[in-house]
Amino acid sequence: MLKDKVAVVTGASRGIGRAIALEMAKNGAKVVINYNGSVEKAEEVKKEIEANGGEAMIYQCNVSDFAACEQFIKDVVTAYGRIDILVNNAGITRDGLIMKMKEEDFDQVLDINLKGTFNTIRFVSRIMMKQRQGSIINMSSVSGVLGNIGQANYAASKAGVIGLTKSMARELAARNITVNAIAPGFIDTDMTSVLSDAVKEASVAQIPLGHFGKPEDIANVAAFLASEKGAYITGQVIHVDGGMAI
Ligand code: NAP
Protein backbone atom coordinates (compact mmCIF):
# COMPACT_ATOMS: atom_id res chain seq x y z
CA MET A 1 0.00 0.00 0.00
CA LEU A 2 2.94 2.41 0.72
CA LYS A 3 5.69 0.74 -1.30
CA ASP A 4 8.64 3.07 -2.08
CA LYS A 5 7.13 5.89 0.00
CA VAL A 6 9.22 7.72 2.60
CA ALA A 7 7.41 8.41 5.88
CA VAL A 8 8.63 10.74 8.63
CA VAL A 9 6.95 10.04 11.99
CA THR A 10 7.69 12.41 14.86
CA GLY A 11 7.67 11.03 18.40
CA ALA A 12 7.97 7.48 17.05
CA SER A 13 10.04 6.02 19.90
CA ARG A 14 6.98 5.13 21.98
CA GLY A 15 3.19 4.81 22.05
CA ILE A 16 1.08 5.90 19.10
CA GLY A 17 4.05 7.12 17.04
CA ARG A 18 5.79 3.77 17.42
CA ALA A 19 2.66 1.93 16.22
CA ILE A 20 2.37 4.31 13.25
CA ALA A 21 6.02 3.76 12.31
CA LEU A 22 5.56 -0.03 12.45
CA GLU A 23 2.34 0.09 10.42
CA MET A 24 3.83 2.35 7.74
CA ALA A 25 6.82 -0.01 7.46
CA LYS A 26 4.55 -3.06 7.31
CA ASN A 27 2.88 -1.41 4.32
CA GLY A 28 6.22 -0.96 2.56
CA ALA A 29 7.28 2.59 3.49
CA LYS A 30 10.81 3.55 4.47
CA VAL A 31 10.36 5.12 7.89
CA VAL A 32 12.19 7.91 9.69
CA ILE A 33 11.73 7.33 13.41
CA ASN A 34 12.04 10.71 15.11
CA TYR A 35 12.56 10.86 18.88
CA ASN A 36 13.66 13.42 21.42
CA GLY A 37 15.08 11.63 24.48
CA SER A 38 14.36 7.90 24.11
CA VAL A 39 17.21 6.76 21.86
CA GLU A 40 17.09 3.13 23.00
CA LYS A 41 13.36 2.87 22.37
CA ALA A 42 13.84 4.43 18.94
CA GLU A 43 16.56 1.86 18.17
CA GLU A 44 14.17 -0.92 19.20
CA VAL A 45 11.53 0.35 16.75
CA LYS A 46 14.16 0.43 13.98
CA LYS A 47 15.29 -3.12 14.82
CA GLU A 48 11.71 -4.37 14.78
CA ILE A 49 11.13 -2.83 11.35
CA GLU A 50 14.36 -4.32 10.00
CA ALA A 51 13.59 -7.73 11.51
CA ASN A 52 10.41 -7.72 9.44
CA GLY A 53 12.33 -6.89 6.26
CA GLY A 54 11.67 -3.13 6.29
CA GLU A 55 13.93 -0.08 6.09
CA ALA A 56 14.19 2.65 8.73
CA MET A 57 16.46 5.25 10.27
CA ILE A 58 16.27 7.00 13.63
CA TYR A 59 16.74 10.76 14.04
CA GLN A 60 16.97 12.83 17.22
CA CYS A 61 15.23 16.19 16.94
CA ASN A 62 13.28 18.27 19.42
CA VAL A 63 10.36 19.28 17.20
CA SER A 64 9.87 22.53 19.11
CA ASP A 65 13.26 23.74 17.78
CA PHE A 66 12.71 25.48 14.43
CA ALA A 67 16.35 25.40 13.29
CA ALA A 68 16.75 21.76 14.34
CA CYS A 69 13.66 20.85 12.29
CA GLU A 70 15.16 22.52 9.22
CA GLN A 71 18.30 20.40 9.60
CA PHE A 72 16.20 17.28 10.31
CA ILE A 73 14.23 17.58 7.10
CA LYS A 74 17.36 18.42 5.08
CA ASP A 75 19.08 15.29 6.44
CA VAL A 76 16.09 13.08 5.63
CA VAL A 77 16.07 14.33 2.04
CA THR A 78 19.82 13.70 1.81
CA ALA A 79 19.28 10.15 3.06
CA TYR A 80 16.14 9.17 1.13
CA GLY A 81 15.72 11.80 -1.61
CA ARG A 82 12.07 12.57 -0.90
CA ILE A 83 9.34 12.72 1.77
CA ASP A 84 5.88 11.38 0.89
CA ILE A 85 4.31 11.15 4.32
CA LEU A 86 4.71 13.35 7.39
CA VAL A 87 3.05 12.34 10.64
CA ASN A 88 3.21 15.02 13.32
CA ASN A 89 2.66 12.82 16.33
CA ALA A 90 5.15 14.13 18.95
CA GLY A 91 3.22 15.51 21.90
CA ILE A 92 3.21 16.01 25.66
CA THR A 93 0.80 16.85 28.46
CA ARG A 94 1.41 19.09 31.48
CA ASP A 95 -2.02 18.95 33.07
CA GLY A 96 -3.25 21.29 35.79
CA LEU A 97 -6.15 23.53 36.68
CA ILE A 98 -5.89 26.97 35.09
CA MET A 99 -5.51 28.84 38.39
CA LYS A 100 -2.43 26.77 39.23
CA MET A 101 -0.99 26.31 35.75
CA LYS A 102 2.60 27.45 35.44
CA GLU A 103 3.49 29.68 32.52
CA GLU A 104 6.21 27.25 31.42
CA ASP A 105 3.71 24.38 31.38
CA PHE A 106 1.49 26.35 29.03
CA ASP A 107 4.41 27.38 26.82
CA GLN A 108 6.05 23.95 26.64
CA VAL A 109 2.85 22.19 25.59
CA LEU A 110 2.14 24.79 22.92
CA ASP A 111 5.78 24.72 21.75
CA ILE A 112 5.89 20.96 21.23
CA ASN A 113 2.32 20.11 20.23
CA LEU A 114 1.43 23.09 18.05
CA LYS A 115 4.62 24.90 17.07
CA GLY A 116 6.36 21.55 16.57
CA THR A 117 3.68 20.68 14.03
CA PHE A 118 4.21 24.00 12.27
CA ASN A 119 8.00 23.57 12.31
CA THR A 120 8.07 20.29 10.39
CA ILE A 121 5.33 21.31 7.94
CA ARG A 122 7.22 24.54 7.29
CA PHE A 123 10.13 22.58 5.78
CA VAL A 124 8.39 19.45 4.46
CA SER A 125 5.75 21.44 2.54
CA ARG A 126 8.42 22.84 0.19
CA ILE A 127 9.58 19.31 -0.66
CA MET A 128 6.08 17.95 -1.15
CA MET A 129 5.16 20.96 -3.32
CA LYS A 130 8.10 20.21 -5.61
CA GLN A 131 7.04 16.56 -5.75
CA ARG A 132 3.43 17.62 -6.35
CA GLN A 133 2.46 14.87 -3.99
CA GLY A 134 2.29 14.20 -0.27
CA SER A 135 0.25 13.34 2.78
CA ILE A 136 0.47 15.16 6.11
CA ILE A 137 -1.23 13.76 9.20
CA ASN A 138 -1.34 15.77 12.41
CA MET A 139 -2.21 14.35 15.82
CA SER A 140 -4.97 16.32 17.49
CA SER A 141 -7.06 14.96 20.38
CA VAL A 142 -10.61 14.66 21.61
CA SER A 143 -9.55 17.29 24.17
CA GLY A 144 -8.95 19.76 21.34
CA VAL A 145 -12.50 19.18 20.11
CA LEU A 146 -14.46 18.99 23.37
CA GLY A 147 -12.11 20.72 25.84
CA ASN A 148 -11.18 19.03 29.11
CA ILE A 149 -10.87 20.06 32.74
CA GLY A 150 -7.19 20.40 33.67
CA GLN A 151 -6.03 20.53 30.07
CA ALA A 152 -6.37 24.18 29.03
CA ASN A 153 -2.87 24.15 27.57
CA TYR A 154 -3.18 20.75 25.91
CA ALA A 155 -6.69 21.37 24.53
CA ALA A 156 -5.61 24.76 23.17
CA SER A 157 -2.63 23.16 21.43
CA LYS A 158 -4.76 20.38 19.94
CA ALA A 159 -7.50 22.80 18.82
CA GLY A 160 -4.68 24.82 17.25
CA VAL A 161 -3.55 21.72 15.38
CA ILE A 162 -7.03 21.50 13.85
CA GLY A 163 -6.91 25.11 12.61
CA LEU A 164 -3.41 24.54 11.24
CA THR A 165 -4.56 21.33 9.51
CA LYS A 166 -7.53 22.98 7.80
CA SER A 167 -5.48 25.96 6.63
CA MET A 168 -2.66 23.76 5.33
CA ALA A 169 -5.18 21.53 3.55
CA ARG A 170 -6.54 24.54 1.66
CA GLU A 171 -3.08 25.96 0.96
CA LEU A 172 -1.48 22.76 -0.31
CA ALA A 173 -4.39 21.07 -2.10
CA ALA A 174 -3.51 22.55 -5.50
CA ARG A 175 -0.21 20.63 -5.35
CA ASN A 176 -1.92 17.32 -4.61
CA ILE A 177 -0.96 17.32 -0.93
CA THR A 178 -3.53 16.16 1.59
CA VAL A 179 -3.50 17.36 5.20
CA ASN A 180 -5.66 15.72 7.84
CA ALA A 181 -5.84 15.44 11.61
CA ILE A 182 -6.61 12.41 13.73
CA ALA A 183 -8.31 13.10 17.05
CA PRO A 184 -7.74 10.10 19.33
CA GLY A 185 -9.73 9.56 22.48
CA PHE A 186 -8.09 7.68 25.37
CA ILE A 187 -5.39 5.35 24.03
CA ASP A 188 -3.31 2.94 26.13
CA THR A 189 0.20 4.50 26.15
CA ASP A 190 2.70 5.99 28.62
CA MET A 191 0.72 9.25 28.36
CA THR A 192 -2.42 7.70 29.85
CA SER A 193 -0.72 5.13 32.12
CA VAL A 194 0.07 7.96 34.57
CA LEU A 195 -3.64 8.63 35.16
CA SER A 196 -5.03 7.47 38.52
CA ASP A 197 -7.48 4.54 38.59
CA ALA A 198 -10.26 6.98 39.52
CA VAL A 199 -9.55 9.17 36.49
CA LYS A 200 -9.30 6.08 34.24
CA GLU A 201 -12.68 4.83 35.48
CA ALA A 202 -14.27 8.24 34.95
CA SER A 203 -12.71 8.34 31.46
CA VAL A 204 -14.04 4.92 30.47
CA ALA A 205 -17.50 6.07 31.55
CA GLN A 206 -17.32 8.75 28.82
CA ILE A 207 -16.48 6.24 26.07
CA PRO A 208 -19.54 4.75 24.34
CA LEU A 209 -17.52 1.68 23.25
CA GLY A 210 -16.56 1.22 26.92
CA HIS A 211 -12.79 0.84 26.76
CA PHE A 212 -9.55 2.65 25.90
CA GLY A 213 -8.19 2.29 22.38
CA LYS A 214 -4.87 0.75 21.34
CA PRO A 215 -2.05 2.58 19.50
CA GLU A 216 -2.78 0.30 16.52
CA ASP A 217 -6.30 1.77 16.25
CA ILE A 218 -4.68 5.11 15.40
CA ALA A 219 -1.92 3.59 13.25
CA ASN A 220 -4.46 1.87 10.96
CA VAL A 221 -6.18 5.16 10.23
CA ALA A 222 -2.87 6.96 9.64
CA ALA A 223 -1.77 4.30 7.14
CA PHE A 224 -5.12 4.52 5.36
CA LEU A 225 -4.95 8.33 5.10
CA ALA A 226 -1.39 8.11 3.74
CA SER A 227 -2.34 5.54 1.10
CA GLU A 228 -4.06 5.85 -2.28
CA LYS A 229 -7.26 4.75 -0.54
CA GLY A 230 -7.33 8.01 1.41
CA ALA A 231 -6.26 10.20 -1.49
CA TYR A 232 -9.53 12.17 -1.77
CA ILE A 233 -9.70 13.05 1.94
CA THR A 234 -8.25 16.38 3.03
CA GLY A 235 -8.82 18.97 5.74
CA GLN A 236 -10.65 16.48 7.93
CA VAL A 237 -10.50 15.63 11.60
CA ILE A 238 -10.92 11.87 11.93
CA HIS A 239 -12.19 10.91 15.36
CA VAL A 240 -10.76 7.62 16.61
CA ASP A 241 -12.17 7.68 20.12
CA GLY A 242 -14.67 4.90 20.73
CA GLY A 243 -17.46 7.42 20.23
CA MET A 244 -16.39 10.03 22.80
CA ALA A 245 -16.99 12.99 20.50
CA ILE A 246 -20.44 11.88 19.29
P1 NAP B 1 3.69 9.05 24.62
O2 NAP B 1 3.50 7.59 24.79
O3 NAP B 1 3.93 9.91 25.80
O4 NAP B 1 4.87 9.29 23.53
C5 NAP B 1 5.19 10.59 23.15
C6 NAP B 1 6.18 10.56 22.02
O7 NAP B 1 6.44 11.94 21.65
C8 NAP B 1 7.50 9.94 22.40
O9 NAP B 1 7.97 9.18 21.30
C10 NAP B 1 8.40 11.15 22.65
O11 NAP B 1 9.76 10.91 22.32
C12 NAP B 1 7.83 12.13 21.65
N13 NAP B 1 8.17 13.52 21.99
C14 NAP B 1 7.80 14.23 23.08
N15 NAP B 1 8.32 15.47 23.04
C16 NAP B 1 9.03 15.55 21.88
C17 NAP B 1 9.80 16.56 21.27
N18 NAP B 1 9.95 17.76 21.84
N19 NAP B 1 10.39 16.29 20.07
C20 NAP B 1 10.25 15.08 19.48
N21 NAP B 1 9.54 14.08 20.02
C22 NAP B 1 8.94 14.30 21.22
O23 NAP B 1 2.42 9.69 23.89
P24 NAP B 1 1.25 9.01 23.02
O25 NAP B 1 0.15 8.68 23.93
O26 NAP B 1 1.81 7.98 22.13
O27 NAP B 1 0.78 10.28 22.18
C28 NAP B 1 1.17 10.51 20.84
C29 NAP B 1 0.37 11.67 20.29
O30 NAP B 1 -1.01 11.36 20.35
C31 NAP B 1 0.55 12.98 21.06
O32 NAP B 1 0.52 14.07 20.18
C33 NAP B 1 -0.67 13.00 21.96
O34 NAP B 1 -0.99 14.30 22.35
C35 NAP B 1 -1.70 12.38 21.06
N36 NAP B 1 -2.83 11.82 21.78
C37 NAP B 1 -2.67 10.80 22.66
C38 NAP B 1 -3.77 10.30 23.33
C39 NAP B 1 -3.69 9.15 24.32
O40 NAP B 1 -4.69 8.84 24.95
N41 NAP B 1 -2.55 8.50 24.48
C42 NAP B 1 -5.04 10.84 23.10
C43 NAP B 1 -5.17 11.88 22.19
C44 NAP B 1 -4.07 12.36 21.54
P45 NAP B 1 10.92 10.66 23.42
O46 NAP B 1 10.44 9.62 24.37
O47 NAP B 1 12.06 10.20 22.57
O48 NAP B 1 11.20 11.97 24.08
Ligand 1 centre distance from Cα of residue 174 (Å):
31
pTM to 2 decimal places: 0.99
Identify whether the C-beta of residue 152 lies closer than 8 Å to the C-beta of residue 109.
no
Q: Which residues are catalytic?
A: 154
Nearest to 242 by CA among 194, 187, 162, 196: 187
What's the whole-number mean pLDDT along residues 31-43? 98
Residue pLDDT, tens place only, 122-170: 999 999 999 999 999 999 999 999 999 999 999 999 999 999 999 999 9
Quick one: angle between helices 116-131 and 152-172, nearest 10? 10
Does the beta carbon of 178 sit less than 6 angstroms from any atom of ligand 1? no
Is the CB of 21 within 6 Å of ligand 1?
A: no
Residue 39 vs residues 43, 45, 65: alpha-carbon distances, Å: 6, 10, 18
Gap from CA of 157 to ligand 1 centroid (Å):
13
3-state secondary structure 151-197: EHHHHHHHHHHHHHHHHHHHHHHHHCEEEEEEEECCECCHHHHCCCH
18 CB-near residues (< 8 Å, 6+ apart): 12, 41, 45, 215
Distance in angstroms (rounded) separating the CA atoms of residues 43 and 90? 17
pLDDT at 24: 98
pLDDT in tens, 81-129: 999 999 999 999 999 999 999 999 999 999 999 999 999 999 999 999 9
